[in-house]
Structure formats: structure tokens, C-alpha cells
Amino acid sequence: MNGTKLIECPHCRSFATIREKPQYNSVDCWNCSMCFCLGCSNRPHFPLTCEQFAIWMEKFEHQRYLELSRTDPNSVFMCQCGNILHHSNKTWKVSCRACGTKYNWKLHSKFDDERIKCTNFADEYTPNYIAAEYSDICLPVYEMRFDANFFYDLKQHLKSSSVLNSGLLISNFKLALHLIELGFAWLYLTKAQKPDEWTTLKTLLSQLQSLVDSITTAVRNGLPVVNANQKAAELKKLVGIIMNELSNVHI
């Protein structure tokens, strides 16, 4: 990248200039602090390319809705236009974001024409969009990444622990969740080709997942994080190793 480039934040529409291509191709908006990818304006998605991220997210969203429909079959339906409708049943009206059709959620029919129905999104025979080996890891990690209550609990939990630098642990923990979610997505998307680093990265990401799970379990059960400083050091080390490995395959 040569010279200065003008960029626009996709969230608040403010403008800024950059002189060099940022590492991992993502930036923080100076105005609203949102992070986004320069290539596709989506959330940062290293180590996936923009094309890989688009493929992954289409499958991922369908898998999320499939899991929701398995838990509560009445929460997910298909609009007549083919768009997916998700509703919590707290109200009886829902509008399709794609075509604007308004449905009576209790009757699952269009307001001004009861002959038009929204249809079931899935049934007990609907197969996974993403193999369970990957979706069972990526879905809960995704939910945790954007769970403000969990991170509040984590901060409070660490205040009463003997961790030397809780801020650094939390920062590495958040980065670890990003790497687990999108690292396993990369494993899924490249499993047919299996680059040279594939097996090594699967082992490293599995180790990182186990470490994160041990911390998460302690926090959610209100228990002390056993060997907290040792785990903080292991977390930092593993995150660094995985970032380096993924940077090599992302070039």
C-alpha cells in the first residue's frame, strides 16, 4: 500500500486516513471504537480471508438457527421470500427484514392474508450445515465472545484472585476466544486441502480451547482459578505461538 488512503467506518460513517496497510487488515475507528476489516467491512476475521469469512458466516448463521430451532422449534421459521425469521415469542408480531412481510407469530401467517404462511426452518431430519466437531466448539465460543455479563463476572472473579496482571489475562482471554472461533473455522474450511500447518494448528488450538475451558468453568461455578498465574502465562504463550503459525498460512 503506497501513499495515504481514505477509509470510512461502516458503523458510524466517520472518515480517517491511513498510511500503511494495518496488520491483520483490520482497524479501530477513532470515533466509535468499532473494529472492522478494511477488505469487507465485517468484524475482524483473521486468519480467514474475506472470501473464506463470507463462506463461513453463511454456514455459521444457518447452523446457529438450526441449533435454536432444535432447542425451540417455534422460534425459527422461513419467510415466503426465503429469509430466516427468528423470534422470541415475547410479542406476536414479526416483520421480515428482507421483504417487509408482517406475520402473526402465533398463527405463523401473514397479517392481511392468512393463506400465506411462514414455514418451518428445519425438522428432526435436517442435517448440520457445519460438522458437529467444529460447530460444537465455534458456536458457544462465539456466544461467549459477545457476552458482556460473562466478562463482567470474569473481571470480578479475577479481583479476588492472586493473578498478577488481570488486565493482561483478560486481553489474552479475549484474543484466545477469537483464535478458537475463527481458527477452528479455518481448520474446517481447509480440512480437504490440509496445508502443512493444519495438524500442528489443530493441536495448538485444542490446547488453547482446553485452557480457556478450565478458566471459564471456574468463573461460571464461582470457583478459584487453580494455578491462575501459571495459566495466565500459558495463555499468553499459546496465543503468541498460534498467532505466529496462522500468520504464516495467512500470507
What is the total count of domains within the chain?
Answer: 3
Indicate if the pLDDT at residue 89 is higher than 70.
no
Instruction: Name which of 185, 225, 183 is nearest 208 in CA terms.
Output: 183
Q: Which of 66, 97, 120 is the last residue of a domain?
A: 120
Where is 216: in which H helix or E strand?
helix 198-220
Please indicate, yes or no, whether residues 113 and 152 belong to a single structural domain of this protein. no
Instruction: Convert the pLDDT of each residue in 182-211 to its tens digit.
Output: 999 999 999 999 999 999 999 999 999 999
> Contact, 170 vs 231, CB < 8 A?
no
Answer whether 10's CB lies under 8 Å from 16's CB: no
Same domain, 72 and 152: no
pLDDT of residue 123: 85
Higher pLDDT, 86 or 22: 86
- Tens of pLDDT along 148-178? 999 999 988 888 777 888 889 999 999 999 9
Residue 209 inside a domain? The answer is: yes
* Residue 43 covered by a domain: no
pLDDT (mean) for 55-63: 96
Higher pLDDT, 160 or 216: 216
Q: What is the pLDDT of residue 183?
A: 98
Domain final residue pick, 90, 120, 150: 120
Report yes or no on 50 lying in a domain.
no
- Per-residue pLDDT at 214: 93
Residue type, 106: K
| Full domain range(s) for residue 87 | 55-120
pLDDT of residue 164: 83
Q: pTM to 2 decimals?
A: 0.88
Residues 209 and 151 in one domain: yes
| Domain membership flag for residue 100 | yes
Query: Residue 30 pLDDT > 80, yes or no?
Result: no
Residue 143 shares a structural domain with residue 162 = yes
**Are residues 59 and 29 both part of a single domain?**
no
Give the tens place of pLDDT for each residue, 90-149: 678 889 999 999 999 888 889 888 888 888 888 888 999 999 999 999 999 999 999 999
Nearest-angstrom CA–CA distance, 208 and 147: 19
Same domain, 22 and 64: no
Sign of CA dihedral 109, 80, 103, 120: positive
pLDDT given at position 2:
56
According to the model, what pLDDT value does residue 139 have? 96
How far, in Å, CA of 153 to CA of 144, rounded? 12
